[in-house]
Amino acid sequence: MKLLFIGMLLSILVPGQAQSKFTVYFDFNRYALTADGMRQLDSFLLAKRESGAKYIISLDGYCDPPGTDDYNRTLSLRRVSSVKQHLLNNGIQQRNIVQAKGHGEKDPLNENRTEEERQLNRRVTISLAETTKENQTLKEKIADSTTVAGTSIVLKNMNFYGGTPLLLPESFSIIEELIETMKVNYRLVIEIQGHICCVPYADDSPYGPTGTGLSEERAKTIYAELVGHGIEPNRVSYKGFGHSMPVYPYPEKTEEERIANRRVEIKIISK
Protein backbone atom coordinates (compact mmCIF):
# COMPACT_ATOMS: atom_id res chain seq x y z
CA MET A 1 0.00 0.00 0.00
CA LYS A 2 2.83 2.39 0.90
CA LEU A 3 4.59 1.68 -2.41
CA LEU A 4 1.34 2.33 -4.26
CA PHE A 5 0.93 5.67 -2.46
CA ILE A 6 4.53 6.65 -3.27
CA GLY A 7 3.86 5.78 -6.89
CA MET A 8 0.77 7.97 -6.89
CA LEU A 9 2.72 10.87 -5.40
CA LEU A 10 5.51 10.46 -7.93
CA SER A 11 2.87 10.69 -10.64
CA ILE A 12 1.74 14.09 -9.33
CA LEU A 13 5.22 15.37 -8.58
CA VAL A 14 6.13 15.71 -12.22
CA PRO A 15 7.68 19.00 -13.37
CA GLY A 16 5.38 20.84 -15.75
CA GLN A 17 2.13 19.88 -14.02
CA ALA A 18 0.36 22.94 -12.62
CA GLN A 19 -1.09 21.81 -9.30
CA SER A 20 -2.08 18.75 -7.29
CA LYS A 21 -3.25 17.98 -3.76
CA PHE A 22 -3.71 15.24 -1.19
CA THR A 23 -5.37 15.03 2.21
CA VAL A 24 -4.50 13.75 5.68
CA TYR A 25 -7.25 12.97 8.21
CA PHE A 26 -7.50 13.38 11.98
CA ASP A 27 -9.28 11.68 14.87
CA PHE A 28 -12.32 13.32 16.47
CA ASN A 29 -11.40 16.43 18.47
CA ARG A 30 -7.67 15.78 17.94
CA TYR A 31 -4.94 17.69 16.12
CA ALA A 32 -2.03 15.29 16.52
CA LEU A 33 -1.09 13.43 13.36
CA THR A 34 -2.34 9.87 13.20
CA ALA A 35 0.02 7.06 12.21
CA ASP A 36 -1.63 6.95 8.77
CA GLY A 37 -1.34 10.72 8.37
CA MET A 38 2.34 10.63 9.28
CA ARG A 39 2.94 7.81 6.78
CA GLN A 40 1.25 9.85 4.06
CA LEU A 41 3.41 12.88 4.76
CA ASP A 42 6.57 10.76 4.92
CA SER A 43 5.65 9.15 1.60
CA PHE A 44 5.12 12.59 0.09
CA LEU A 45 8.52 13.74 1.37
CA LEU A 46 10.18 10.66 -0.11
CA ALA A 47 8.42 11.13 -3.44
CA LYS A 48 9.42 14.77 -3.54
CA ARG A 49 13.08 13.89 -2.96
CA GLU A 50 12.98 11.23 -5.66
CA SER A 51 11.24 13.45 -8.23
CA GLY A 52 13.48 16.47 -7.65
CA ALA A 53 10.51 18.76 -8.32
CA LYS A 54 10.27 22.08 -6.52
CA TYR A 55 6.88 23.08 -5.13
CA ILE A 56 5.19 25.74 -3.07
CA ILE A 57 2.72 24.33 -0.56
CA SER A 58 -0.64 25.52 0.77
CA LEU A 59 -2.20 23.96 3.89
CA ASP A 60 -5.94 24.19 4.62
CA GLY A 61 -7.46 22.68 7.75
CA TYR A 62 -11.09 21.70 8.45
CA CYS A 63 -13.35 20.19 11.11
CA ASP A 64 -16.64 18.35 11.38
CA PRO A 65 -19.54 20.28 13.06
CA PRO A 66 -19.45 19.45 16.82
CA GLY A 67 -18.12 22.42 18.80
CA THR A 68 -18.45 26.20 18.50
CA ASP A 69 -17.21 28.12 15.47
CA ASP A 70 -14.30 29.62 17.43
CA TYR A 71 -13.30 26.25 18.86
CA ASN A 72 -13.36 24.57 15.47
CA ARG A 73 -11.38 27.33 13.80
CA THR A 74 -8.71 26.93 16.46
CA LEU A 75 -8.78 23.14 16.15
CA SER A 76 -8.47 23.28 12.35
CA LEU A 77 -5.52 25.69 12.63
CA ARG A 78 -3.81 23.36 15.13
CA ARG A 79 -4.23 20.52 12.65
CA VAL A 80 -2.59 22.67 10.01
CA SER A 81 0.23 23.49 12.44
CA SER A 82 0.83 19.78 13.08
CA VAL A 83 1.20 19.12 9.36
CA LYS A 84 3.35 22.19 8.83
CA GLN A 85 5.70 21.32 11.68
CA HIS A 86 6.16 17.77 10.38
CA LEU A 87 7.07 19.13 6.94
CA LEU A 88 9.48 21.69 8.42
CA ASN A 89 11.10 19.02 10.59
CA ASN A 90 11.74 16.91 7.50
CA GLY A 91 13.40 19.26 5.07
CA ILE A 92 10.65 21.50 3.70
CA GLN A 93 11.70 25.14 3.87
CA GLN A 94 9.50 27.74 5.58
CA ARG A 95 9.52 29.91 2.44
CA ASN A 96 7.93 27.07 0.44
CA ILE A 97 4.83 26.98 2.65
CA VAL A 98 2.94 29.98 1.33
CA GLN A 99 -0.39 29.40 3.11
CA ALA A 100 -1.44 27.78 6.39
CA LYS A 101 -5.11 28.44 7.21
CA GLY A 102 -7.71 26.95 9.52
CA HIS A 103 -11.26 27.09 8.13
CA GLY A 104 -13.18 25.40 10.94
CA GLU A 105 -16.47 23.90 9.73
CA LYS A 106 -16.45 25.75 6.40
CA ASP A 107 -16.45 23.92 3.06
CA PRO A 108 -17.57 20.45 4.24
CA LEU A 109 -17.23 17.67 1.72
CA ASN A 110 -20.65 16.25 2.64
CA GLU A 111 -23.59 16.71 5.03
CA ASN A 112 -21.90 15.05 8.05
CA ARG A 113 -24.79 12.57 8.41
CA THR A 114 -22.67 9.56 9.37
CA GLU A 115 -19.41 8.93 11.19
CA GLU A 116 -17.78 8.08 7.85
CA GLU A 117 -18.84 11.44 6.41
CA ARG A 118 -17.70 13.34 9.51
CA GLN A 119 -14.32 11.61 9.34
CA LEU A 120 -13.80 12.98 5.82
CA ASN A 121 -14.20 16.53 7.15
CA ARG A 122 -11.54 16.18 9.87
CA ARG A 123 -8.80 16.94 7.44
CA VAL A 124 -5.90 19.04 6.21
CA THR A 125 -5.56 19.42 2.47
CA ILE A 126 -2.03 19.83 1.14
CA SER A 127 -2.00 21.65 -2.21
CA LEU A 128 1.15 21.62 -4.32
CA ALA A 129 1.99 24.08 -7.09
CA GLU A 130 5.19 23.76 -9.07
CA THR A 131 7.59 26.61 -8.44
CA THR A 132 7.88 28.92 -11.45
CA LYS A 133 9.34 32.36 -12.02
CA GLU A 134 5.81 33.74 -11.62
CA ASN A 135 5.17 32.37 -8.13
CA GLN A 136 8.68 32.68 -6.71
CA THR A 137 9.05 35.01 -3.76
CA LEU A 138 11.28 38.03 -4.21
CA LYS A 139 13.95 36.35 -2.06
CA GLU A 140 13.83 33.26 -4.31
CA LYS A 141 14.07 35.37 -7.46
CA ILE A 142 17.14 37.14 -6.10
CA ALA A 143 18.75 33.83 -5.09
CA ASP A 144 17.99 32.21 -8.47
CA SER A 145 21.20 31.54 -10.41
CA THR A 146 19.64 33.05 -13.54
CA THR A 147 19.25 36.40 -11.76
CA VAL A 148 22.47 38.24 -12.59
CA ALA A 149 23.68 41.83 -12.86
CA GLY A 150 21.39 43.63 -15.31
CA THR A 151 18.30 41.53 -14.48
CA SER A 152 15.13 43.53 -13.78
CA ILE A 153 12.40 42.25 -11.45
CA VAL A 154 8.92 43.78 -11.27
CA LEU A 155 7.73 44.47 -7.72
CA LYS A 156 4.21 43.06 -7.94
CA ASN A 157 1.39 44.79 -6.04
CA MET A 158 3.47 47.95 -5.58
CA ASN A 159 0.76 50.58 -6.05
CA PHE A 160 0.32 54.32 -5.43
CA TYR A 161 -2.57 56.71 -5.02
CA GLY A 162 -3.42 58.04 -8.48
CA GLY A 163 -1.14 60.82 -9.69
CA THR A 164 0.94 60.80 -6.49
CA PRO A 165 4.05 59.12 -5.04
CA LEU A 166 2.07 58.02 -1.95
CA LEU A 167 2.02 54.27 -1.36
CA LEU A 168 -1.26 52.41 -1.04
CA PRO A 169 -1.50 50.25 2.13
CA GLU A 170 -1.23 46.95 0.24
CA SER A 171 2.23 47.99 -1.00
CA PHE A 172 3.88 47.74 2.41
CA SER A 173 4.08 43.92 2.40
CA ILE A 174 6.28 43.95 -0.71
CA ILE A 175 8.33 46.80 0.84
CA GLU A 176 8.90 44.61 3.91
CA GLU A 177 9.88 41.67 1.69
CA LEU A 178 12.34 43.86 -0.22
CA ILE A 179 13.89 45.15 3.02
CA GLU A 180 14.27 41.59 4.34
CA THR A 181 15.75 40.45 1.02
CA MET A 182 18.29 43.28 1.11
CA LYS A 183 19.27 42.40 4.68
CA VAL A 184 19.72 38.71 3.91
CA ASN A 185 21.63 39.40 0.67
CA TYR A 186 24.04 41.94 2.16
CA ARG A 187 26.05 42.27 -1.09
CA LEU A 188 23.00 43.05 -3.19
CA VAL A 189 23.03 46.45 -4.91
CA ILE A 190 19.93 47.61 -6.78
CA GLU A 191 18.47 50.47 -8.77
CA ILE A 192 14.77 51.21 -8.21
CA GLN A 193 13.10 52.11 -11.50
CA GLY A 194 9.73 53.86 -11.75
CA HIS A 195 7.40 53.73 -14.75
CA ILE A 196 3.97 55.21 -15.43
CA CYS A 197 1.20 54.40 -17.86
CA CYS A 198 -1.39 56.01 -20.05
CA VAL A 199 -0.24 59.56 -20.85
CA PRO A 200 3.25 59.63 -22.33
CA TYR A 201 3.55 63.37 -23.00
CA ALA A 202 0.74 65.22 -21.22
CA ASP A 203 1.59 67.57 -18.38
CA ASP A 204 1.34 65.77 -15.05
CA SER A 205 2.17 68.85 -13.00
CA PRO A 206 3.80 69.17 -10.51
CA TYR A 207 5.94 66.27 -11.74
CA GLY A 208 6.97 67.47 -15.19
CA PRO A 209 5.69 67.22 -18.77
CA THR A 210 6.65 63.61 -19.54
CA GLY A 211 5.79 61.78 -16.33
CA THR A 212 9.45 61.29 -15.53
CA GLY A 213 9.07 63.38 -12.38
CA LEU A 214 6.20 61.28 -11.01
CA SER A 215 7.88 57.98 -11.80
CA GLU A 216 11.10 59.23 -10.17
CA GLU A 217 9.24 60.43 -7.07
CA ARG A 218 7.63 56.99 -6.74
CA ALA A 219 11.01 55.27 -7.03
CA LYS A 220 12.40 57.76 -4.49
CA THR A 221 9.60 56.86 -2.06
CA ILE A 222 10.71 53.22 -2.09
CA TYR A 223 14.35 54.29 -1.77
CA ALA A 224 13.43 56.30 1.34
CA GLU A 225 11.61 53.31 2.86
CA LEU A 226 14.67 51.08 2.39
CA VAL A 227 17.16 53.59 3.75
CA GLY A 228 14.81 54.45 6.61
CA HIS A 229 14.82 50.78 7.62
CA GLY A 230 18.58 50.43 7.76
CA ILE A 231 19.61 49.60 4.19
CA GLU A 232 22.87 51.39 3.34
CA PRO A 233 22.29 54.26 0.85
CA ASN A 234 25.24 53.14 -1.29
CA ARG A 235 23.37 49.90 -2.04
CA VAL A 236 20.30 51.60 -3.47
CA SER A 237 19.71 54.19 -6.20
CA TYR A 238 16.57 55.28 -8.01
CA LYS A 239 15.50 56.55 -11.42
CA GLY A 240 12.26 57.50 -13.17
CA PHE A 241 11.53 56.60 -16.79
CA GLY A 242 8.07 58.12 -17.18
CA HIS A 243 6.30 56.37 -20.06
CA SER A 244 9.49 55.93 -22.11
CA MET A 245 9.78 52.14 -21.56
CA PRO A 246 6.24 50.71 -21.73
CA VAL A 247 5.60 46.98 -21.71
CA TYR A 248 2.57 47.67 -23.94
CA PRO A 249 2.44 50.51 -26.50
CA TYR A 250 0.40 53.66 -25.93
CA PRO A 251 -2.55 53.87 -25.84
CA GLU A 252 -3.03 50.84 -23.63
CA LYS A 253 -6.09 48.81 -24.60
CA THR A 254 -7.02 47.27 -21.22
CA GLU A 255 -6.59 47.87 -17.51
CA GLU A 256 -4.21 44.89 -17.41
CA GLU A 257 -1.97 46.65 -19.93
CA ARG A 258 -2.11 49.89 -17.92
CA ILE A 259 -1.16 47.99 -14.75
CA ALA A 260 1.76 46.36 -16.55
CA ASN A 261 3.03 49.77 -17.67
CA ARG A 262 2.36 51.44 -14.30
CA ARG A 263 5.08 49.51 -12.50
CA VAL A 264 8.15 49.64 -10.28
CA GLU A 265 11.11 47.41 -11.03
CA ILE A 266 14.39 46.73 -9.33
CA LYS A 267 17.43 46.32 -11.54
CA ILE A 268 20.22 44.15 -10.13
CA ILE A 269 23.48 46.12 -10.17
CA SER A 270 25.49 43.46 -8.32
CA LYS A 271 24.83 40.54 -5.95
Predicted local confidence at residue 147, as pLDDT: 86
pLDDT at 203: 43
Cβ burial of 54 (10 Å; 0-12, 13-18, 19+) is middle
Please check the confidence at residue 245 and state whether its pLDDT lies above 80.
yes
- Note the residue count of the chain: 271
Residue of 265, 264, 269 whose CA lies nearest to 234:
269
Whole-number Å distance between alpha carbons of 136 and 256: 21
Q: Are 237 and 192 in contact (CB under 8 A)?
A: yes
Please state, in angstroms and rounded to a whole number, the distance separating the CA atoms of residues 172 and 158.
8
Please give the domain boundaries of the chain with CATH numbers for all domains: 2-130 (3.30.1330.60), 138-270 (3.30.1330.60)
Please, which pLDDT band fits residue 212 given cuts at 50, 70 and 90? low
pLDDT digits (tens, 9 = 90+) for 95-152: 788 789 999 999 999 999 999 999 999 999 999 887 666 667 788 788 777 889 999 9
Contacts of 239 (CB under 8 A, 6+ apart): 191, 192, 193, 194, 216, 219
What is the mean predicted confidence (pLDDT) over 3-24? Answer: 55
Query: 90: Cβ–Cβ under 8 A, 6 or more apart, which residues?
Result: 41, 42, 45
